Amino acid sequence: CKNFLDRVPPSSLKENLVANKKGINALLIGVYGALDGQDFTDGDMTNLSGGAGFAVSPDNWIYGSVCGGDAHKGSDHFDAPPILDLARYTAGATNSFLNDKWRVDYEGVTRCNTVLRLLPQVTDMTDEEKTEVEAETHFLRAHYYSDLKKMFNMVPWIDETTTDMKTPNNKDIWPNIEADFQFAWEKLPLTQSEVGRPNKWAAACYLAKTYMYEHKYPEAEALFDQILVSGVTSKGEHYQLRNRFEDNFDAATENTSECVFAIQFDANDNSGTSANANQGEMLNYPYNGPFSCCGFFQPTQDLVNSYITDAQGLPYLDDYNNHSITTETLDPRLDWTVGRQGIPYLDWGVHPGDAWIREASTAGHYSPKKNVYWQATQDKYYDPRGWAPGNAINYNLIRYADILLLAAECAAQLDNPDKAQALVDSVRGRAARPESEVYLYKDDSAPMGGFQDVPAANYNIARYPAGTFSTKGKDFALKAIYFERKLELAMEGHRFFDLVRWGIASETLNAYFAFEGNLTLDVQGADFTKGTNEYFAIPQRQIDLTTNGGTNTLQQNNGYH
């Protein structure tokens, strides 16, 4: 009768069945599977922690872009209130999105640690094969940790050897992250047969970016120099900006020369759900238009004004908000980044302005654009399986323009203004190409019928005149580089983390609140507290769950309680 009670749990595998080559490879793919943080349960677009999918969107549209002043939360005032608290810097330790974000990043870490923990038990793999798995896993773990580090600053380091999961957050983990990327940089192959896997240059880029966060400029420069000369994508293509800016945001032209490391999204993949279809951005489509959801992530006036250019085609680095988009010239990247009235919205038609806005009084008049699919290819790249749209447009965690601008920043910090300017100009040069402008439709009533040769707005963009950076000095150079990152990488989830890295979050964001708060109600009266809001609160739930005998294991960040 004893056997009667010995039952093997159905539909799952015990450890002994996965500690082999096939199992390890599947577990490694599972680590990639956590990159988007998404799940789909009971017909709802959820995240791995059980909350809303968008709470942990891997492009950090909430934490990087909304919190950084690129965009409003959008929609109705009352839609997804935790985002509003984040945007206004009133989000405390009990904000549910922060807890989801924490848990989902640590799920990624846990998956990495599972691979590394089981790997020594595997007997049917060669040492080379094991090293390759280790290198990819270290790369991915460092990715998850760098996200945690940027969000929460002091976080516990848990690796495959950790037994006490209530580890204190009393150490700076940048060195650990560095070590993981270093390992990956040393051990990863030059190219990969599967494009979604990082190669050694991806590790180099991520490592260099890590150095930049640590302000280790000489180490960063050494790497950037190698990357600029020899860096190739996982497919072996030399890193190079695409001629057309929009190519970075179209599923048809992804994983090309500008892609350093991307999350591979897909549509209609037979999962029956939209979980793998950039679900974290499911809310970020114009409202009342041809999309089923939901009017979130509306670019700010402050961002839009940043694209105004002077007669030389250069940005107004300081007083851009004193200029008008209707009377002055514009950087064409504006119209690939922001949906605004009167401009063709990809091939969906001319953006009608407030008719596609849910509540202009709350969140202004603009729509997001970089994450939106084209009508002509919607059968391929649009996924209708959730209650809000999914799409197959990859999110580039690092694209080459990001690296060029980081390298520029590094050069400027190391007092090499000409090199810095050349790098900035290469980015501006691409934006200035005619392919990177938006053109009017041939026929507004048939937007899929193609474009005329007439630009949709009065574009004027140029490289900085030779010697500008060296003439105007380091401060100017840095300001110009910072501004260039804003323009180039807007709405891609980087802005807030950049501001913190540069140490200018407080003044920049309070100036933004002062300006934007006069225009929309959502950020009216919002305030950024210097010394506190540079990092988000450690989730109270995590502090509570890790107490030991009444003492907290996790210490809260400064200024939160």
Partner 1 sequence: PCAIAIPASVLHPQEQQEEVLLKQLFRQTEVKFGVSIAYKSELVKDQKAKVDLAACKSPEEVLDKVLAPFNLSYQKVREHFYLIIAKEVTHTSASDAVQRPVHGKVTDAKGAALPGVTVRVKGTATGAVTAPDGTYTLNIPGTGNDVLEISFVGYETKSVTVGSQSEINITLTENTSTLNEVIVTGYTTQRKKDLTGAVTVIDIGEMVKQPSGQVTSQLQGQASGVTVIGSGQPGQEPVVRIRGVNTFDNNTPLYVVDGVPTQSINDLNPNDVASMQVLKDAGAASIYGSRASNGVIIITTKRGTGKVKVKYDAFYGRQYPKGGNAFHTLNSQEMANLRWLSYKNTGTPLSDTLYGNGATPRLPDYLQPVGLMEGDPRVNPDLYYVNPNYTDQNDYNSFYYITRANKTGTDWFHEIFKPANMTSHNLSVSGGSDRGNYLFSLNYYNQQGTLTNTYLKRYIIRSNSQFNLSKNIRVGENLSFSVTDNPVVDLLTASGAVGMAIREQPIIPVYDIKGNFGGSNGIGLGDAMNPVAMQYRTRNDRGQVNRVFGNIYADVDLLEHFTLHSSFGGEVNSGWRHNFTYPQYENKENAGVNSYTETTDFAHNWTWTNTLNYHNTFSKVHNLNVLVGTEAYDERTREQIGTTQDFFSFDPDYVDNGTGAGGQTIRSTRYSAGLLSLIARVDYSFNDKYLISGTLRRDGSSKFGANNRYGLFPAASAGWRISQEAFLKDVRWLTDLKIRGGWGIMGNQLSLTPGNAFTLYGGNKNTSYYDLQGTNNSVLLGFQQVQIGNPDAKWESDINTNIGVDATLFGGKLEVSADYFQKNIKDLLYNSELPGTYGTAPAPYSNVANMKNQGVDLTITSHTDITKDLKFDATVTLTTFKNRIVKIAKGVDYFDSQARNFSESIIRNAVGQPISSFYGYKITGFWNSQDEVDKADQEAQTKTNDPGATFQEAAAPGRFRYADLNHDGVINSDDRTFLGNPNPKVSYGINLGLTYKQFDFSMFLFGVHGNQIWNQVRWWTDFASSFDGAKSKTALYDSWLPDRTNAKAPIQEGEGSFSTNSVPNSYYVESGAYLRCKNVQLGYTFPQQFGNRIHIERLRIYVQAANLFTITKYSGIDPEIGGSDVRSFGIDEGTYPSQRQFLAGLNLTF
Q: Does 96 bind partner 1 (CB under 8 A)?
A: yes
The residue behind tokens 């495959």 is 160
Q: Which is nearer to partner 1, 7 or 319 (CB)?
A: 7
- Asked if 476 and 415 touch (Cβ cutoff 8 Å), the reply is no
Distance CA(120)–CA(183), nearest Å, equals 17
Backbone phi, psi, residue 462, to 5°: -145, 165
Q: Does 17 bind partner 1 (CB under 8 A)?
A: yes
Residues binding partner 1: number (CB under 8 A)? 114
Backbone phi, psi, residue 332, to 5°: -65, -20
Choose the binding region for partner 1 from 173-181, 238-246, 328-336, 539-547 (rule: CB under 8 A): 539-547
Smallest distance, Å, CB 78 to partner 1? 5
Residues 59, 85, 409, 484: which binds partner 1 (CB under 8 A)? Answer: 85
Q: Which is nearer to partner 1, 292 or 458 (CB)?
A: 292
Footprint on residues 148-187 left by partner 1 (CB under 8 A): 156, 158, 162, 165-167
CA atoms within 13 A on the CB side of 208: 30
Footprint on residues 239-268 left by partner 1 (CB under 8 A): 251, 254-255, 264-268
Distance CA(177)–CA(87), nearest Å, equals 28
Both tokens assigned to 433: 């190409």
Smallest distance, Å, CB 139 to partner 1? 14
Residues 143, 149, 197, 428: which binds partner 1 (CB under 8 A)? Answer: 197
Residues 94, 170, 312, 322: which binds partner 1 (CB under 8 A)? Answer: 94
Residues 27, 220, 260, 410: which binds partner 1 (CB under 8 A)? Answer: 27
Q: Does 273 bind partner 1 (CB under 8 A)?
A: yes
Q: Does 7 bind partner 1 (CB under 8 A)?
A: yes
Smallest distance, Å, CB 25 to partner 1? 9
Which among 546, 524, 500, 535 has a CA at the least distance from the CA of 93?
535
- Asked if 43 and 63 touch (Cβ cutoff 8 Å), the reply is no
Residues 29, 190, 446, 466: which binds partner 1 (CB under 8 A)? Answer: 29
Q: Which residues contact 525 (CB under 8 A, 6 or more apart)?
A: 513, 517
Q: Which is nearer to partner 1, 165 or 454 (CB)?
A: 165
Which among 337, 407, 331, 402 has a CA at the least distance from the CA of 370?
337
Smallest distance, Å, CB 396 to partner 1? 12
Choose the binding region for partner 1 from 12-20, 176-184, 211-219, 306-314 (rule: CB under 8 A): 12-20
Distance CA(133)–CA(445), nearest Å, equals 52
Q: Does 445 bind partner 1 (CB under 8 A)?
A: no
Residues 20, 26, 172, 310: which binds partner 1 (CB under 8 A)? Answer: 26
Q: Does 435 bind partner 1 (CB under 8 A)?
A: no
Backbone phi, psi, residue 263, to 5°: -85, 125
Residues 11, 123, 161, 324: which binds partner 1 (CB under 8 A)? Answer: 11
Residues 272, 326, 453, 475: which binds partner 1 (CB under 8 A)? Answer: 272
User: Beta strand 308-309 with 451-455: parallel, antiparallel or unpaired?
Assistant: unpaired
Footprint on residues 384-403 left by partner 1 (CB under 8 A): 384-388, 392, 394
Q: Does 92 bind partner 1 (CB under 8 A)?
A: yes
Q: Which amino acid is at 353?
A: G
Residue 544: other Cβ atoms inside 10 A: 11
Q: Does 32 bind partner 1 (CB under 8 A)?
A: yes
Distance CA(168)–CA(32), nearest Å, equals 27
Q: Does 486 bind partner 1 (CB under 8 A)?
A: no
Binding pattern for the stretch 332-371 against partner 1, x by CB under 8 A and - elsewhere: -----------------------x-----xx---------
User: Beta strand 451-455 with 439-441: parallel, antiparallel or unpaired?
Assistant: antiparallel
Backbone phi, psi, residue 277, to 5°: -110, 60
- Asked if 428 and 488 touch (Cβ cutoff 8 Å), the reply is no
CA atoms within 13 A on the CB side of 76: 6
